[in-house]
Structure 1
């Protein structure tokens, strides 16, 4: 039995869909009604990281688990999940972390939260694999409304390169780590095949859509104001710190991990854009 968390999200959902026909699969969700993955070998259970009884129930009979958490202001969630996994005899835990953990100059709230959770996992005694992806290509879907309405991409900085990665590549690496031997104790840094600026992504989207798009640079205050509508202030400042680091080129590193683990190169942003053009039209 494999347990997947985050199945209503970007990576967890892709992992769950890949595992539907590969043996018993259990999905843990706060809102099971939002889980779109189904099949004769799939069981969806209600649970919460803060509810130890629900974690214990979800872990019963599980040999491998995928963990994703998303709230740096609730640092106990990872610890509670790891404790429950260890108590249940789970042998393998694959955790979604962040590429910035490997950068010594990254010292913001979100990166330090991931760093501490990685340390907890290493000390747990479980067989572990850590996935450190760069920014998701799917993040550009946030541009879709302004592209459809105005033909405009707005962002803080158009010239900082970022080796963004297709979440499908992350999911494929995760599935291999969950189902194959040889991945225990590995930290996998996951990127796309090239580093692109927002201006370059905008140009590639324009070519894909067959119509002109323009880039408009936002001020730091405009970006901060937008983030405050979605996140608490400590998270906003962490995201702004991350954006500032990008200006130094710290997010341009391209890793070969996807090729090494899957046997194929990571997908390009151009390829991702072609598959997802419908969202921007």
Structure 2
């Protein structure tokens, strides 16, 4: 993708946060409903290459079907999709299952594709020292104990996706698992403390806190399955 190629960001309002920064850099910001097939098609009109991902929601299943059909009719020639490491249709976590179906649809769509498959986002831990980070550290410690988790930042994922869009011929029809550091919750806490040169606290939470959150955490605690991609231990 040459430097002069126009860029479009879909799904943002353009009125806050990172969307404003994108507009200031000359990126066209388009607000569309990605859960609606017609809206998604309109957002992709004139787009030749795209980077798409999903989010966990109650409408994930129908949305995944739309996203795997629409690119074939939207003049896309290359699509980079953010999935999840080692995803299989038998994991039983709705968000991951939907991404498996999207990957299957891409292979059937006839367009050139590339899948980046991260493990666990570093961005789950807030950058600012405060209550939210303490809660995040406490939650992960309650669920995973001293277990090491493979982490990758969303910034690194975005950089890699941009690299692929700029040189699609190198990456056609490839799937790349992404991970960086393998850290326990205590490791993460110690790193933050060293960076800020001050104590970083972690709240205490009981182990049953996982039953209050996503089915991914509940299933991981129940099965301890190494096939669960977002929590797979380092080899």
TM-score greater than 0.5 by the shorter chain: yes
Aligned length: 224
Point out 4+ residue stretches in structure 1 off by more than 4 angstroms: 214-217, 243-250
1:222 corresponds to which residue?
209
Deviation, structure 1 residue 245: 6.1
Consecutive unaligned residues of structure 2, counting only runs of 5 or more, are none
TM-score when normalising by structure 2: 0.80
- Describe the shift of the 1:214–1:59 C-alpha distance in structure 2 as closer, same or farther (beyond 3 A): closer
Cα RMSD over matched residues?
3.2
- Structure 2 residue aligned with 1:56, among 36, 41, 65? 41
Aligned in 2, Cα 1:222/1:53: closer, same or farther, shift over 3 Å? closer
- The counterpart of 1:164, out of the listed 147, 151, 172, is 151
**Structure 1: runs of 5 or more not aligned:** 3-18, 228-235, 255-281
Q: Say if 1:119 and 1:73 are closer, same or farther in 2 by CA, change over 3 A.
A: farther
> Cα–Cα, structure 1 residues 87 and 152, in superposed 2: closer, same or farther, change >3 Å?
closer
The aligned residue for residue 211 of structure 1 is: 198
Partner of residue 146, structure 1: 131
The superposition leaves residues 184-220 of structure 1 with CA deviations (integer Å, 9 ceiling, x where unpaired) of 111110001x311001111111122222345455323
TM-score (norm 1): 0.68
How much does 1:46 deviate?
Answer: 2.3
**Closer, same or farther: CA 88–111 of 1 in aligned 2, 3 Å:** closer
Find the aligned partners of 1:152 and 1:95 in 2 and give their Cα distance: 27
SS of alignment partner, residue 10 of structure 2: strand
Give 1:42's aligned residue.
27
In 1, the alpha carbon distance for the partners of 2:68 and 2:225 equals: 36
